[in-house]
Structure formats: C-alpha cells, structure tokens
Structure 1
C-alpha cells in the first residue's frame, strides 16, 4: 500500500489542504479500503463553510466512499481483500478522522458497508448508501409512511406526498422510494432535469422555475398530502414551504437548518434530523437498518431499481476536493452526483 494522503480542514472555515496522513491498521470489525470514489453531499460543504458541527481540528471529513478492500480486522466475515465495497461514516466514526472519506486509504466499519458485485459501480453505490438512508428515515421513520417491498412496487395507498427537489440526490431517491411504497408523489424540477425526475416515477412534476406564487398554487391544487419533505435545505425553499403551509399550518421535514427558520409562521413547524443516523444508529430502528443494509439496498443496486443521479467526476484527485465542495456550496450542481477519485 502507498502512503496515505488526506484532504484536511486545518481550522474552522479554512480551505482544504492536501497533506500526508496516518496509515491505519484495521481493528476488530474494521476494514481498510483503497478509496476510489469519494461521493460528495451538500452538507459537507456547509460543515466546512459554516463549521456546522463544531468539528475538532484539524479534521478529515467526508461521509461516503467506495473502493477496494485491502485488509480486514478481527471478526470481519462479510468481505475479504479484493472485494469492492461502498461505505458510510455513521455512528461514532463520525468523530474519528480514520474513517473520513476525504483520504486515499480510510477505514470503514464492517457494519457500515455493503459488498458490491464485481461489476457494481463504486460511484453509484457510494452515491446512494447514505442518501437513500436519509430518504428512508425521512419518509418511513420520521413521517411514519409505509416501507416499500424489497422488489417491485406496493399497491397504491391513495395518499399523496409532496417532495420538493426531485432532481437532488436525496430528493430523487425519496421520490422513487415513496412511489415504490405506493404513494402518489408530487415533486419539483427545472425543465433541464425533467427526464431524470420522470425516471423516479412521480405522479406529477411542478416546474420550480415558475414564480413562487405559481409553484405554491400548483402544489396546493394537487394536494392534500400526508407528508411534506423538502430535499434542498436552503433559505429560499424554507420560505416557500412556510408560505405553502401557512394557511392551515403543518409540519415539513427538511435537509438542513437555515438562517430563516425562526421567521416561519407559528403554525408551521420545520423538522431537521441527521436522518441516516436515525435509520442506522438508533437502537429502536435496528430492524429497519438490517432490512436496508442486507436486503433493500443490495438488491436494489443489483436489479437497477436504486440508482444515483448521473455522476459528475471532478478530476484532480484529493486536490479537487475543494473544487467539489465549492461547486456544491455555490449551487452549481443540478441533477448530478459529484464524485472525486482520490487515487488520481
């Protein structure tokens, strides 16, 4: 194995610095991975720009990656060296730099990874492992809606769900997931991403490039809804959701807090969680976690029912990590999943 390198945030709000990093030996239940696909999430840009979680610095961040197993620790039985895997950084590993995705040779917990078929895409698998967990937690645990079958589609429930942001990574997965669970899904998209969003099988798509008043009117016209999810996490969409619900009041679930949350009407409640952690780390949800990691996700990747947004590869290895984060923070990514290969 070559010496490890990492993209490090040296202090709060600081830009990425690429530098040598510690080389790791996997312990009990741990796996050492040759990282070949860092999959980026918008919240990672906010963690850097806002110091969102008050991280301990210097920090190696990043939540999801895919690669090849190099070495396994004691008691690891599901994978062996040479296997291709996708991994997420859940639970206590979130505070341990050894498990950060922004490096060439991170560790992963066996319980937080899935083994891929030899032909399985590292980019697509790493692009969905945490984002789909977020969608499942939001829709089926936090909103209390039904789980879909492992394969195929459930019978129609006769109920509708509104998901703002059908072309986003989480939003698109949530649209397909809720549709497979039997719900009629109304979502939003720009004309540019219409075909992508249609592939997620919503009942109706609203052009979000219209005026806010038209988006709200069209959304209300296709209701009522048993749940509201906004998958963008911006101040602008928070304000829109507030106006949408202000007349009768209600709750919507969001991907991120924003500076305008305190300005919502008193009868409108916005809820935000670390959704994927709700699914995989809460003891009360261990049955759902097992279903997701051992049945639903592996089968969906194999049969093509689960797929990420089209991949946007940013070249340059670890030196491209800052570019990738800036693209997300500046809102320059639409209908794509940003990936960097740290081995370049």
Structure 2
C-alpha cells in the first residue's frame, strides 16, 4: 500500500507530528485530492488545544484544501484526474482521518469539491471551502435563514441581511453569496476593514463607532429583516444536501469563473510544507484581521 505524509495530532495540547499514513483509494462518490495548499481556521487550533470534535487519537485536523485530483471513485461524474479543485474535508463530521486536510492527500465527497479557474492560485482558492459551506448553511438551509439561492429569479433588493463580522472568512463569503442572491447586505467591521466589506457589496458599519447600533437599526428598518445565524458547516452535505448541491455544484464553479465570488479574505502564506502548519496555527491563534493563514505544499 502506498503512503504519504500527514501532520498528526497525537494528544490534546500536543504539537503536530509529521509521519506517514496509508494513501486511501476513493470509494464511490469520493475524490482523492493531492493537496497543493491548506488553510487554517479557528477550529483547527481549538481542536488541538481543547480536543473538541475529536473521537480518538492520533488524528489529522484541517478542513480547507486546494490541489489536483489524483483519483476518483465510482459514480463520480463531474470530475476527472488532473483537474484543479478546492475541497472541504469533512473530518469534523466523519471523524475519519482520511478526510483531514493537513496531509498530502485528502479524501473529499464529490459534493464538497469544486473546480477552480486556471487563473486562480491554489493559495488564493484554499481560503474558500469551510467558509463557503458555513455561510451557505446559515444563509440557505431551511432550518436557518432559508434564503433564495443565487440565480433564482425575483427582486430581493429590499430584503436585508446583517453580517456581524463581515471581514472574517465566513462573513466575507456570506456577504458575497447573499449579494449574489440579490439581497441587501449590511455588515460590521473595524474601521480599517470597512473599505474591504463595502467592496464586496455590503453597506459597512464600524462596530466600534459610537451610536453604531442605532444606525444599523435605522437601516434595518428600511427593509424586511431576515435574521442572524450560527451553524455547523457539514450540514450542507449531510442534513440538507440540496443546499450543498445548489451552492457547491451549481453555483460556485460558475461564480468563481465569472468573478461573482472572489477568494476572500486575502491569503497570508505563512510557509511551505506540513512542518509549517503548527506555526501557522499559532499565528492564527494570536489573531488575524481580514486575512486567512495559508500553507503551501
């Protein structure tokens, strides 16, 4: 059996260890991605520090990967070997180390994979997967906001969405997808990031400014307010797979190609190789603003 290298977490609060792991073959409906870039999310260092969402050790963390398709399982019809893609590794839901992104090869379900344009670097594209899934779950799942999908006919310009923390990874994608679906978007950010969220199509508010809540409520009152959310990203593939299909399969590839969805926030490449992941997580834990920590492979 062939092997590849992975970054293992052997116990809670321990540093990552680099070592070999068997390279799996994709099952029906699965895709094996040779990773070229990985991204860091808050859940990664929280899992390392506190052991949340971990069933057993050793484990392989990580949800965001971008790379080249190395193999496809039976029943995969939309992809072929050699394509450039992003993938959402759903290890948080499956507890299967093969679905972790912090390794040279990751298994993703076909539903959690999307092609990226040749003009988009792996480092830029890898900021997207978990944020896309999380924003999509909150915006479009019926048990959450239940918004209409992008490209669905209808005038929704007077229906207002408030994104608190619009310069974050999930926030910036929520702005873009809600705008693509035709909704009016208000978003908070620090003063230095207002231009960023406004460039994505939102009306920006400095959350630290005096009287900001009153101004936001005034804008909310001009339209029909749809609410707020807090979600678990893999539900778009498990609990409500129709949302994952609508966004990952039908909308995202077209939107990346025509520029309606941009890889945001900007990639901050920390280093190269699996050995850089530990330092990248520590940098993220120290705090980031309008950027996402990325490791090249």
| TM-score normalised by L of structure 2 | 0.88
Partner of 1:278: 235
- Measured in 1, the distance between the counterparts of 2:183 and 2:112 equals 29
Matches for 1:181-330 after TM superposition, within 5 Å: 181-202=181-202, 204-210=203-209, 214-224=211-221, 226-229=225-228, 253-254=229-230, 273-274=231-232, 276-282=233-239, 285-308=240-263, 309-330=265-286
Please state how far the C-alpha of 1:323 moved relative to its aligned partner: 1.8
Structure 1 unaligned regions, length at least 5: 230-252, 255-272
| CA deviation map 1:43-86 (0-9, x unaligned) | 22222222222431111011120111223333433322221121
Secondary structure of 1:313's aligned partner:
strand
Please state how far the C-alpha of 1:137 moved relative to its aligned partner: 1.5
Please state how far the C-alpha of 1:157 moved relative to its aligned partner: 4.2
- Measured in 2, the distance between the counterparts of 1:188 and 1:303 equals 27
| CA deviation map 1:219-258 (0-9, x unaligned) | 33333462443xxxxxxxxxxxxxxxxxxxxxxx23xxxx
- Measured in 1, the distance between the counterparts of 2:27 and 2:149 equals 36
| CA deviation map 1:321-341 (0-9, x unaligned) | 11221222222x111122111
| CA deviation map 1:150-173 (0-9, x unaligned) | 39x952442322211010011011
User: Is the Cα contact below 8 Å between 1:120 and 1:302 reproduced in 2?
Assistant: no
| CA deviation map 1:279-314 (0-9, x unaligned) | 2211xx333322212211111111111112111111
- Measured in 1, the distance between the counterparts of 2:60 and 2:291 equals 24
Aligned length: 293
Please state how far the C-alpha of 1:34 moved relative to its aligned partner: 1.5
Is 2:110 aligned against 1:110?
yes
Please state how far the C-alpha of 1:277 moved relative to its aligned partner: 2.0
Partner of 1:267: none
| CA deviation map 1:247-282 (0-9, x unaligned) | xxxxxx23xxxxxxxxxxxxxxxxxx31x2222211
Secondary structure of 2:34's aligned partner:
strand
Structure 2 unaligned regions, length at least 5: none
- Measured in 2, the distance between the counterparts of 1:154 and 1:323 equals 47
| TM-score normalised by L of structure 1 | 0.77
- Measured in 2, the distance between the counterparts of 1:94 and 1:64 equals 15
Partner of 2:42: 42
Classify 1:118/1:179 alpha carbon distance in 2 versus 1 (closer, same or farther; 3 Å).
Answer: closer
Partner of 2:136: 136
Classify 1:91/1:292 alpha carbon distance in 2 versus 1 (closer, same or farther; 3 Å).
Answer: farther
Q: After the TM superposition, which parts of structure 1 deviate over 4 Å for at least 4 consecutive aligned residues?
A: none
- Measured in 2, the distance between the counterparts of 1:187 and 1:318 equals 35
- Measured in 2, the distance between the counterparts of 1:5 and 1:91 equals 17
